[in-house]
Structure 1
Amino acid sequence: MPKNNGTEWEVGDPTISVVGEQFCNPYPMELIVKRKVHNFSRDHYEVFDLSGNLLLQIEGQAWGFNRKRVMRDPAGFTILTMRQKGITLKNKWEVYGGDSKDREDMLFVARQTQAMTLKTSLDVFLPDNLKRAVCDFRASGGYSNISFKVFKSDSLIAGVTHKFSWGSFCKGKYNFRVRVNPEVDYAFIVSLLVIVDDNENLC
């Protein structure tokens, strides 16, 4: 994997569509992702554009083994399902289109790069590259690191900025501001953000 210090994905670069082309726009997108824990048992994320329009919503268990998170559109239609594969030293999630568990509907697998690190880093594999163990994307960061970035090879395709507060973090309620580069699948980026953020939810 090249060093993550290269160029940014720009207008005119090939489309990166993992979840679906309907989530790719030919211009940079700014998203607001809001997270809240309900009754200390369920996470709820909402994704808005800068005009306040709801684009995506994600719900799932905040604790437990073999957790599941479901991404839906504003009408409640299931877009994808994220399933954690047990509790291991290297956190692993499998992501499928809709409610499916079938291999032919797998979108990607995200696996923690190293077992014991202060900064979360994920290797992301598309189904065709799983057997070759060649990662297609890398995501790193998290809330306590005050950063989140996604790279394809050495090109930055998305990043996050936010105002850090331990108080809001431990209450389970905080916001991310996500910049998704042109022609990049924002549903895919948000799903990676949720997975990386999962490793940071210690309170």
Structure 2
Amino acid sequence: MASDEMIKVVGDRFCVPYTMELLVKRKIQSFSNSHYDVFDTTGNILLQVNGGIWNLQKKRVMKDPAGLPVVTLREKQAISWKQEWQMHEGESRHCLCSVKRSGGFNIKSNLDVHLASPYKDAACDFRVTGSLASLSVKVRRGNSIIAEVTHSYTWGSYKGKECFKIKVYPEVDYAFIVALLVIIHENDNA
């Protein structure tokens, strides 16, 4: 990453001064529930995301290890080929950002991320390129890559389990990056 500026969307407590390697394990628990666990390289759990898979109101809640809500992801209900999600602080309705598919019928699920701001302009603040199916996802701010995701089938993807590795660059909000991974995964499997 070219800049030393802290990139915080969810909160500065999720920004660390070094490159962070995360392991995200996703498991389909039942026909209507999916669960994500996020670990650091030493096996400590950092975040958990729960939510239904096939329900009318797609909603995912990310919690910290103490079980406190960090962010809530809600899919905006609209008849459109551009899926849109909103990221809310905790379980409130305070919107942190909106995430929308860049194009409708692409093989790659490129996402545009717009921070919630009263001074909103047309340009997106972040862009997510790639897809989990292609085993490569990059999160960019301008021309700088701030995080990369690689997919691994080693944890038993054939049994409803998947594993993702994320590299988050220094001073980048890793809770925000995990939330984007969940959104792109939900869009890829919609």
Output the TM-score relative to the length of structure 1. Answer: 0.87
Equivalence for 2:63: 72
Q: Distance in 2 between matches of 1:107 and 1:38?
A: 28
Higher mean C-alpha displacement, 27-36 vs 137-146: 137-146
Give unpaired runs (5+ residues) of structure 1: 1-8
Q: Distance in 1 between matches of 2:103 and 2:119?
A: 17
Q: Distance in 2 between matches of 1:174 and 1:94?
A: 24
Does residue 193 (structure 1) correspond to residue 168 (structure 2)? The answer is no
* Distance apart, 1:164 and its partner CA: 4.4
Partner AA of 1:124 in structure 2: V
Which of the numbers 94, 105, 114 marks the counterpart of 1:116? 105
Equivalence for 1:96: 88
Q: Distance in 2 between matches of 1:57 and 1:79?
A: 10
Does residue 125 (structure 1) correspond to residue 114 (structure 2)? The answer is yes
Q: Percent identity?
A: 47
Equivalence for 2:33: 42
Equivalence for 1:4: none
Map 1:165-184 → 2, pairs under 5 A = 168-169=156-157, 171-184=159-172
The 1:129/1:192 distance shift into structure 2, 3 A limit, reads farther
Residues 92-142 of structure 1 deviation map (CA, whole Å, 9 limit, x = unaligned): 0011101112xxx21110000001111101000001277422200001223
The 1:120/1:94 distance shift into structure 2, 3 A limit, reads same
Partner AA of 1:92 in structure 2: E
Q: Distance in 1 between matches of 2:39 and 2:23?
A: 5
Output the TM-score relative to the length of structure 2. Answer: 0.93
Partner AA of 2:36 in structure 1: Y
Does residue 85 (structure 1) correspond to residue 76 (structure 2)? The answer is yes
8 Å CA contact 1:140, 1:196 repeated in 2: no
Q: Distance in 2 between matches of 1:15 and 1:83?
A: 26
Equivalence for 1:161: 150
